[in-house]
Chain A
Amino acid sequence: MLTDVSRPLPKRTPVNAPFWEHADRQILALPWCESCGKTHFPPSPRCPHCLHDAFDWRPASGRATLVSWVVFHRSYWDGVAADVPYNVCLVELDEGVRMLSNLVGAAEEAPRYKMPLKVTFTDRFPDLILPVFDAA
Chain B
Amino acid sequence: MIDPRLSGKYAVAGVGTSAYGKFPEKDDFHLAADAFADAIEDCGLDKSKIDGLAVCRVPHYAPMAEMIGLQPRWTLQLPPHGRMSGISIIEALAALDAGYCDYAVLLYANIGRSRRIQYGGEESPGFWDPWGFTSMGAIHAMLFREHMERYGTTTRQLAEVSVAFRKHAVMNPSAVMREAFTIDDHEAARMICDPLRLLDYCLINDGAVCLILTSVERAKDLKKKPVAIAGIGAQDALRHASYPQADFWFDALQKTADQVYPMASVGPSDIDALMVYDNFSPTVLFSLEGMGFCAPGEAGAFVEGGTLGLGGALPANTDGGHLSNSYMQGWALNVEAVRQVRGECGARQVPDCEVVQYVAATPCTRSIIYRPA
Contacts and interface: CB of A to CB of B under 8 A. Distances in A.
A63 interface: no
Interface stretch (A24-32, A52-60, A72-80): A72-80
Contacts of A73: 190-194
Given A11-B125, A67-B246, A68-B145, A83 B132 contact: yes
Contacts of B135: 76
B118 A76 contact: yes
Interface in B66-103: none
B131 A100 contact: yes
B24 interface: no
Nearest to B135: A76
A57 B209 CA distance: 49
B194 A68 contact: no
Given A11-B125, A67-B146, A72 B130 contact: no
Nearest to A84: B132
A98 B133 CA distance: 14
Given A9-B130, A102-B132, A74 B193 contact: yes
Residue of B130, B134, B190, B242 ringed by the most chain A CB atoms within 10 A: B130
A136 interface: no
A35 B134 CA distance: 33
A86 interface: yes
A85 to B, nearest CB: 7
A130 B130 contact: yes
A8 B242 contact: no
B239 to A, nearest CB: 7
B195 interface: yes
B244 interface: yes
Interface stretch (B136-144, B157-165, B293-301): B136-144
Contacts of A72: 132, 138, 193-194
Interface string A39-67: 00011000010000000000000000001
Given A73-B190, A74-B193, A8 B130 contact: yes
Interface residues of A, number: 35
Residue of A10, A70, A74, A77 ringed by the most chain B CB atoms within 10 A: A70
Contact of A71 (B118, B120, B122, B194): B194
Contacts of A99: 243
Contacts of A120: none
Contacts of A83: 132
A121 interface: no
A86 B132 CA distance: 8
Contacts of A107: none
Contacts, number: 97
**Contact residue range for chain B?**
35 or more
Interface in B98-135: 118, 120-122, 125, 127-135
A68 B149 contact: yes
Contacts of B246: 67, 98
Residue of A8, A42, A77, A125 ringed by the most chain B CB atoms within 10 A: A8
B240 interface: yes
A88 B192 contact: no
Contacts of B149: 68, 113
B150 interface: yes
Contacts of B121: 76-77
A16 B242 CA distance: 14
Nearest to B244: A90
Contact of B130 (A10, A69, A76): A10
A8 B125 CA distance: 9
A71 B193 contact: yes
B366 to A, nearest CB: 24
Contacts of B142: 68-70, 88, 90
B242 A42 contact: yes
B141 A100 contact: no
A36 B142 CA distance: 32
A22 interface: no
Given A9-B130, A72-B132, A76-B134, A98 B146 contact: no
18 contacts: A7-B131, A8-B129, A10-B127, A70-B138, A70-B193, A74-B192, A77-B129, A77-B134, A80-B132, A88-B128, A88-B133, A90-B244, A98-B243, A98-B246, A100-B128, A102-B131, A113-B146, A128-B130
Interface of A: 7-11, 16, 42-43, 48, 67-74, 76-77, 80, 83, 85-86, 88, 90, 98-102, 113, 125, 128, 130, 132
Interface of B: 118, 120-122, 125, 127-135, 138, 141-143, 145-146, 149-150, 190-196, 239-240, 242-244, 246
